[in-house]
Every structure is written in structure tokens, then in C-alpha cells.
Amino acid sequence: MSRIHTLKIYNYRGIEHFEHVFDNRPLVCLIGRGDSGKTTILDAIDAVLSPRWDYRFYDTDFHNGDTTKSIVIEASLQDLPPELLSESKFGLYKRILNPDNEIEDYFSEEESGCSDILTIRLVVHEDLEPTWYVVNDRKDQDNIEISAGDRAKFNVFLVSDYIDRHFSWGKGSPLYALLKKNHDDIDTDRIIVDANRKAHRCDFWRILRRTSCTAYIYCRLSRGDISSY
């Protein structure tokens, strides 16, 4: 699973400017008082790495409601899926993380002790249409868009208190992401259909048993045979 090395947020909700280097820590805990921006940071990560193409933004998502200043969220990732680093994808746009924990744009493939980095940038203008790019600071390269399908390969998902959404079957849910990651060759649609049928059968027989038992008790009571109850 990909990991965030650096996160930058501009003009998103209560955050005008935020920048943090998470380094190589496997676990990060955000601690702060209520309404200090913790949830906004998590939502920003969810947005910039979302596998959805129809991610929605509103005027209230802009800092101080000022839609003239675009929302910009940028995440630099390491431990990348190999297929995204091919030249036909984004291999020509990669950056490196050097041994000094600094991201470099100009480098030699022979350099040792370095890891590959892709920087994903989400931009939302006043028309509320989000666009995702792979970016770097090399002057001879323009930004290139990254599709929802390619973003899904980062296998990033948000688990919060919205249980119905996070534990349903669909792109962006933990169940979907984990199963796709470990079992790409499995016919997941067939598995879901079979599980649904079994659940309906269990419910049917459970209801039938309860109904039969209720009817039996009712017949005994209606005849005045209540010695057993």
C-alpha cells in the first residue's frame, strides 16, 4: 500500500496553508482540540487520492468561502504500485526521495539509497470541477492528468463513522479495496451475488420457522390447550 511522505493543503475549508512531512512513519496520530482541522486533513487526503471521478465540492469547501482562490491539495507518495511507474504511465514524471529525506526532481537512475516518489495534485477552481494531476518541479514537463482508475491503484481509503458507506461494496470502501488488492483474479461479482442469495435463504427459513412456531402456538391456545405454556 502506498504511503504519504509529504502533504500540502491550500485554501481548503478551515485551512489556508498546511504542509507536513510524515517521513517514513508507519503510523501517524493527529491530536488536537475540537475544530482544529484534524478531520479536514483526513478529508483532504481522501480527496486527493480518491478513486472516484465524481468527487463533489461545494462553495463551503473553499477557505472563508472565497472561490477566487483555488483549492490545491498535494500528496507525495512512496511505495508505489510498479504499474504506475512504467514509461507508458507516470514513470517519466517520478521524483526521488534521497537518503537525506529530501524530494529531488533532477537525479540519475544510478543513485543509490533512493526511493521513487509520485506527487499527486488536486485542483478545484470556482467552477467546482476537480482535476487530478501527477506533477513535479521540472521546467520541461507539463502536468499530466491521472484517472480515477489509476488513483484506485494507490489503494487508499478512509474509515470514519459513516459505516453504511465504508462497509458497503463499492469503489472507495475498505472491503472493495482489500479484496481487489489481494484477489484480482476472483470473480467478485459472483461472490457477492452468491452471498446475497444465501443471506436471503437464511432469512426466509428463519422467518418460516418463526411463523410456523407462532401458528402452532396460536392453534394450541385457540383450543384452550394452555397447559404447556
Judge contact between 78 and 97, C-beta under 8 A: yes
pLDDT digit string, tens, across residues 92-107: 999 999 988 899 998 8
Range of the domain at 129: 3-155
Q: Are strands 95-97 and 3-12 parallel, antiparallel or unpaired?
A: unpaired
pLDDT digit string, tens, across residues 99-136: 888 999 988 876 777 899 999 999 999 999 999 999 99
Question: Per the domain annotation, does 170 fall within a domain?
Answer: no
Sign of the four-CA dihedral 72, 78, 81, 83: positive
Task: Flag whether pLDDT at 217 surpasses 50.
Answer: no
Look up the CATH number of the domain holding residue 7. 3.40.50.300
> What is the three-class DSSP state of 174?
helix
CA neighbor of 61 nearest in space, from 121, 130, 145, 6: 130
Question: Per the domain annotation, does 164 fall within a domain?
Answer: no
Which distant-in-sequence residues (6+ apart) come within 8 Å of 79 by Cβ? 1, 2, 3, 115
Cα of 213 vs its chain's centroid, Å = 47
Confidence band of 227 (pLDDT split at 50, 70, 90): very low
Counting the structural domains of the chain, the total is 2
Of 11-20, 138-147, 196-205, minimum mean pLDDT range? 196-205
Question: Per the domain annotation, does 171 fall within a domain?
Answer: no
Average pLDDT of the chain is 83
